[in-house]
Amino acid sequence: MVVSKFRELYRKYERWVPIAFFILGFVFDAVMLRHVDELKTLIQQAAYLLFSAALIGVELVESVHEIHPPSLPGLGRLWKYREAFLHFFLGTLLNSYTIFYFKSSSAFVSFLFIGILIALLTLNEFKRFGESQTQVHIAFLSLCLISYLVSLVPIIVGFIGVTTYLMALAATVLVFGGYYRLLKPKLGTKPSLCKTHLLAPFGAVQGAFALLYFAHAIPPVPLSISYMGIYHDIKKANGTYQLSATRPRWRFWEHGDQTFLARPGDTVFCFVRVFSPARFKDQLQVRWLSWDRKRGWISSDAIPFSIEGGRENGYRGITLKKNYQPGEWRVQIETADAREVGRINFTIETDESTDVRDVVTTEQ
């Protein structure tokens, strides 16, 4: 009775099923996803990649000859819903990587890449591609696979850079090569499908990803900025940082003194928390930039900044500047190859007042 009602509801609202699965996947990720290096997250993504590859493989082989539903109890009834499950798995993976890339991005070109991911996520849920559907699914799978390994390899080796990307790319090619060899014999009289439906979309995605990576459009996952703020003074005592700001309370949207009222002798402090996986140990750099109307942003300092992973709220550090001029400023946190992890913009204004400042101190 319950099953028949379910079937009736499915037939009635079948066109809304992909949207329901899209929302379900998004809510699931919003609840489950915390850090990119969590073991359960890595296992979940690996499982979804495996399930997606299996369902896409069935889809490809099915274009050559008929495939009968599994005879295992329960699986036969679920067989006709396999496309909806594939959309759920791919949608959840794309959504996961969109979230992780967003956390690790701050540069404009990175947000363009995020926009591409969101567009692909929407296409996966609401667009049907006819005869090209399997090729599109392989392209999505390829993107998810390289995204998974680009974040996994730095977690394993404990640093990030071009070397880790090349290692991830090599692993992606090896994994997909095994998938290709597994599917090729099953295509029988149509081995050409391997080139048009497997190798072509895989190669296109990996080529585009490589171009975007070396154009610094791919955010530096698994690193992300947990917090950045500008302050008048920072002291460390008993394992905590005491951050002193003079910001009026009504400027609640600012992180510290982003409108920095400078008096003679003041030092500009920048406090930052960088999340990195456990056992991660690498060196970043902190770049101070000032705005010039004629020359744009001018870099004044690039200070080495060593980090170690494993802290729940991120690795804490400070950088400071004593020699400055009033105007627009920016502090950027970058990887060793100048890939931006995070930034904060602020304004330095001359403060001619001699009144006692109202200083608010917080702890981090």
Closest CA to 256 of 343, 362, 106: 362
Dihedral over alpha carbons 15, 21, 27, 30 (to 10 degrees): -130
What local confidence, expressed as pLDDT, does residue 120 receive? 65
What dihedral angle (degrees, nearest 10) is formed by the CA atoms of 21, 26, 32, 37? Answer: 110
pTM of structure: 0.80
Q: What is the pLDDT of residue 252?
A: 81
d(CA 343, CA 240): 23
Among 161, 96, 97, which Cα is nearest to 341's? 161
Q: Cα–Cα distance between 96 and 267 in angstroms, integer?
A: 40
Domains along the chain with CATH numbers: 2-214 (no CATH), 224-363 (2.60.40.1930)
- Phi-psi map region of 231: left, alpha, beta (phi>0 left; psi -120 to 50 alpha): beta
Closest CA to 117 of 139, 95, 86, 142: 95
Residues 303-329 as b/e (b if ≥16 CB within 10 A, e otherwise) read eebebebeeeebbbbbbebeebeeeeb
pLDDT, tens digit only, all 364 positions of the chain = 566 666 666 666 666 666 666 666 666 665 666 678 888 889 989 999 999 999 898 888 777 776 666 665 555 566 666 777 888 888 888 888 887 877 777 655 555 666 666 666 666 555 555 556 788 888 889 999 999 999 999 999 989 989 999 999 999 999 999 999 988 888 766 667 778 888 888 998 999 899 989 988 888 888 888 899 999 999 988 888 999 999 888 888 888 899 999 999 999 999 999 988 888 888 899 999 999 988 999 987 788 888 887 677 778 889 999 999 999 999 999 988 888 888 999 999 999 888 888 888 888 8
User: Nearest CA to 142 among 85, 78, 75, 90?
Assistant: 90
Residue-level pLDDT at 71: 60
Specify the pLDDT at position 17: 66
Beta-bridged to residue 270, according to DSSP, are 230, 319
Q: How far is CA 113 from CA 34, 86, 277, in A?
A: 21, 23, 23
- The DSSP-derived string for 17-83 is HHHHHHHHHHHHHHHH---TT-HHHHHHHHHHHHHHHHHHHHHHHHTTS--PPP-STTHHHHGGGHH
Task: Phi first, then psi: give them for residue 102, nearest 5 degrees.
Answer: -65, -40
What's the confidence (pLDDT) of residue 49?
Answer: 95
Nearest-angstrom CA–CA distance, 264 and 266: 6
